[in-house]
Amino acid sequence: MAHPKRKISKQRRDKRRTHYKCEAKTYMICPTTGEAHLPHRAYWYEGNLYYKGKIVIEKEAVA
Cα(59)–Cα(47) distance, rounded to whole angstroms?
A: 5
Q: Note whether residue 2 is domain-resident.
A: no
Mean pLDDT value of segment 16-35 = 91
Task: Tell me the per-residue pLDDT of 4-17, one tens digit each, with 9 for 90 and over.
Answer: 999 999 999 999 99
Going across the sheet that includes 43-45, the strands are: 43-45, 48-51, 54-57
- The pLDDT of residue 52 is 92
Instruction: Give the range of the structural domain holding residue 33, as residue numbers without chain letter.
Output: 26-63
The dihedral through the CA atoms of 34, 35, 37, 41 has a sign that is: negative
pTM as predicted = 0.61
Are 25 and 38 in contact by the 8 Å Cβ rule? The answer is yes
> In total, how many domains does the chain have?
1
Q: Is the pLDDT of residue 61 over 70?
A: no
Task: Tell me the per-residue pLDDT of 35-60, one tens digit each, with 9 for 90 and over.
Answer: 999 999 999 999 999 999 999 999 88
- The pLDDT of residue 58 is 93
